[in-house]
Amino acid sequence: MGFIQLDSDEGCPVPLAPSTILGRHASCTWTIDEPTLPLYWVEIRWFDSGWAWRALGERDGTSGPTQRSAGLPAGWRALRAGSALSLADVAVRVVEDSAPEPFGVDLVTGEVLGHEAVLDLVEARDDGWWPVEAELDLRRSRPLCDGDVIHTAERALRVHPPSELWEPTVPAWLTLLAPSTFVYVDVLDDTVRLTVSSREREVVIQGSFVRAAAPYVAARLEPEGDGWLTLAAAFERWLGLGGNRASKPARIAQDRNKICRGLAGNGVGNATALFETARRANGWVTRVRLSPSQLEFLG
């Protein structure tokens, strides 16, 4: 993950978003309270070849690395660990230059939330990343963009979600979209399991988070209806299947995301295709994408 040092060596480094704006304005990714800086000073951006920078204001007075790597657009210069950008008495140093990772920032306290904390706040769908509470917000109509602000019950957060959806961390053994793929959810025992299998392969994930799939699989198997559930309806069914009553409805979306992450991490291709979400007249609804003939529920 890329990090820069904004102030003295005693200050804590801050992470780099895929496109990071530095300057005095409050809308910058990181604000530097220094009167000599322009409102929007420099942009640091991630490219396939690594980090690069360009001056947005005070171009003549800003100094930094001048090397241009192959593949960078005109006006961009490569930025590596140890490099510094400076203007007058202000200097910003690159501490680490690895690829960007998800993070969030509390807009009130300035607290930085790391990778895992952000992934509890967003859910991967086929069309991008959505807040886990999106199904409770009729005003939301699009996935998250880098730097969007989301509101939870406790605080307002600027989030920088992953740039890509989940990819298998091992070679994909099977895909959810194949007609020969079957999904089984078992909540009969203390250990909750979800199994994805084909003729040749089988992947099993287990844990309390798997319980979030149970309401959707059960609804998809009901003779009447098409399996679509609002988040509130899924939450009520989840509680009836042993879910923690101290939880809130957003827990369902958080756990759906963990299920997809678990499947992708174990070599299941198209993991985000397990659930599909649509907007109806009465709000957002979600269901398991697979046909009833591909599903089995034990609960």
Q: What is the pLDDT of residues 131-146, one digit of tens each?
A: 888 888 878 888 999 9
The pTM of the full predicted model, rounded to 2 decimals, is: 0.78
- Of 49, 50, 53, the C-alpha closest to 63 is 53
Q: Which range of residues forms the domain containing residue 290?
A: 174-298
In a domain, residue 62? The reply is yes
Question: 117 and 40, same structural domain?
Answer: no
Q: Are 29 and 17 in contact (CB under 8 A)?
A: yes
Q: Are 159 and 112 in contact (CB under 8 A)?
A: no
Q: Name the strand (E) or helix (H) holding 5.
A: strand 2-5
Q: At 33, which CATH number?
A: 2.60.200.20
Question: 179 and 292, same structural domain?
Answer: yes
Of the residues 97, 120, 135, the one at which a domain ends = 97
Question: 289 and 178, same structural domain?
Answer: yes
Q: Name the strand (E) or helix (H) holding 31.
A: strand 30-31
In a domain, residue 165? The reply is no
Question: 109 and 93, same structural domain?
Answer: no
Question: 263 and 196, same structural domain?
Answer: yes
In a domain, residue 166? The reply is no
Q: Are 202 and 196 in contact (CB under 8 A)?
A: yes
**Residue labelled with tokens 């998809």:** 220
* Cross-strand partners of 156: 151
- Of 154, 181, 146, 151, the C-alpha closest to 263 is 181
Question: 134 and 42, same structural domain?
Answer: no
Say how far apart CA 59 and CA 151 lie, in whole Å: 36
In a domain, residue 169? The reply is no
Please report, as a single letter, which amino acid is at residue 93: R
H helices of the chain, where?
A: 115-119, 213-221, 231-240, 250-265
Of the residues 160, 185, 208, the one at which a domain ends = 160
Alpha-carbon separation of residue 15 from 95, 105, 160, 219 (angstroms):
10, 10, 10, 42
Question: 182 and 271, same structural domain?
Answer: yes
In a domain, residue 188? The reply is yes
- CB under 8 Å to 189, separation ≥6 — which residues? none
Of the residues 74, 97, 120, the one at which a domain ends = 97
**pLDDT number for residue 8:** 56
CB count within 10 Å of CB 93 equals 17
**Residue labelled with tokens 């993950």:** 1
**Burial of 124 by CB count in 10 Å (0-12 exposed, 13-18 middle, 19+ buried)?**
buried
Say how far apart CA 262 and CA 256 lie, in whole Å: 10
**pLDDT number for residue 92:** 93
In a domain, residue 167? The reply is no
Task: Name the stretches of the chain with pLDDT < 50.
Answer: none
**pLDDT number for residue 172:** 59
Question: 66 and 18, same structural domain?
Answer: yes
CA angle in degrees (0–180, nearest 5) for 154-155-159:
130
Question: 194 and 113, same structural domain?
Answer: no
**pLDDT number for residue 165:** 66
In a domain, residue 10? The reply is yes
pLDDT, tens digit, 9 for 90 and up, residues 199-223:
878 999 999 999 999 999 999 999 8
Say how far apart CA 286 and CA 249 lie, in whole Å: 13
Question: 193 and 78, same structural domain?
Answer: no
In a domain, residue 168? The reply is no
- Of 144, 186, 149, the C-alpha closest to 165 is 144
Question: 12 and 122, same structural domain?
Answer: no
How many domains are there within the chain? 3
Question: 90 and 13, same structural domain?
Answer: yes
